[in-house]
Structure 1
Amino acid sequence: MKLVILFGPPAVGKMTVGQELEKITTLRLFHNHMSIELVHQFFDFGTPAFERLDRRIRFAFFEELAASDLDGLIFTYVWDFDEPADTDYIDAVASVFHQQGAVVSYVELKADLSERLKRNRDPHRLACKPSKRDIEASESSLRYFETNYRMHTWLGELGQKPLLTIDITSQEPQATAHQISDWLNQR
């Protein structure tokens, strides 16, 4: 069992790269909006009810997946490294899989803000993420995250955790997926 935690800022391409990685490996993708979009139909993003239900759904899936005979999972996440609760969350996700003997790997995606603003309007993104279809609100949120969150690691910040960092500003998702797959196979 493998768990690949694919993280980076909003609209960097986590879901799209995850979909491409899923195509060329035996790993399954659980992108963060799979639960967000479901819960958002009932509760506003960020409310206590939203947070509780989103977490319950995700962790129910994680526990079942980690104990299954699947080869592994790709999970996408926007991680604020200045927010200890985000790191605790990712550690809890990793722990579910570690307890079942899984190998956990971390892949950080980076891209320039101007490129992410373009990707924010991509039809595929909007089709998969209904909550992003209000472009004005989505861009405002993206800019807010950019200004107020630290969504990239500092050198050595993850310690001994296996980390691959890729700047995908001008790289196609398929090439990124192959780069990740090659790295995972070398581990």
Structure 2
Amino acid sequence: MKFTMIYGPSGIGKESVGRELAKRNGWHVFPQHLAFDVACAVIGFGNNGFEVYQRKICLDAFKAFYENNVKGVVFTFCYVHPYSNYFVEGLLDFLNQFGIDSKFVRLSCEYEEHVLRITNAGRQNTNKIQSKESLDDYLERFDFSIDIPNVETFHIDNTAMGIEVSAIEIERNIVT
């Protein structure tokens, strides 16, 4: 099984690009926000046990993909150093335990483009960031320019790229 994590801040296009990459390669997509939403509903964000439960949901899903001989998985993730390190340590242990070929991609785009993306009508009626004010607060609180420690990361600024072109660029650099 191939495993590709696309990470970066909310609203950058991770899931859209991930879906295109998965479609092009016959892979599955697992957005982190699915586990986040379940953990919020069951434990409550910020409550004791939230991070442990969210990580368990993801790792259980990845194990099921592996056991079902899925060709590949694209996982989209908002990595926030150092808060996400507990999650990442468990993920890296899992990938190593099963000898899974893994690649890591950090997406970014210019601020003006980021604002356009998060205010896009397609984000309405979701629990995702949808306003410039929320984005500004989010970007002020968290630094998304830090790579995940101990993994090689391919960086891509997709400001001027559409979804398909972004997926092709990732494919050119990580799919072997």
**TM-score scaled by length of structure 2:** 0.85
Distance 1:122 1:43 in 2: 30
Instruction: Say if 2:55 and 2:90, in contact at 8 Å, map to a contact too.
Output: no
Shift of 1:87: 2.6
* 2: CA distance, partners of 1:69 / 1:112: 38
What stretches of structure 1 move > 6 A for 4+ residues in a row? none
Deviation at 1:32, TM superposition (A): 1.3
Q: Quote the RMSD (CA, aligned, Å).
A: 2.3
* Aligned position for 1:71: 71
Distance 1:88 1:103, change over 3 A: same
Shift of 1:21: 0.7
Identity fraction in percent: 22
**Alpha-carbon separation, structure 1, partners of 2:37 and 2:142:** 22
Distance 1:35 1:26, change over 3 A: same
What is the alpha-carbon distance in structure 1 between the residues aligned to residue 137 and residue 43 of structure 2? 21
Instruction: Tell me if the contact between 2:9 and 2:144 (Cα under 8 Å) persists in the aligned partners.
Output: yes
Aligned to 1:101: 99
Uncovered stretches (5+) of structure 1, i.e. residues with no partner: none
Distance 2:66 2:92 in 1: 10
Shift of 1:80: 1.7
Contact 1:6 1:75 in 2 (8 A): yes
Contact 1:66 1:96 in 2 (8 A): no
Distance of 1:21 and 1:125 partners within structure 2: 20
Aligned residues: 176
1:182 match: 172
- Listed as ranges, the gaps of 5+ residues in structure 2 are none
Deviation at 1:166, TM superposition (A): 0.4
Give, in angstroms, the shift of residue 74 of structure 1: 1.0
CA contact (8 A) 1:62 1:93 kept: no
Q: Who is 1:124 aligned against?
A: 122
Query: 1:103-160: per-residue Cα shift (whole Å, max 9, x none)?
Result: 1111010112221121112233336xx2127x45xx4442223112221136xx745x
Q: Are the equivalent residues in 1 in contact too, given 2:55–2:87 (CA < 8 A)?
A: no
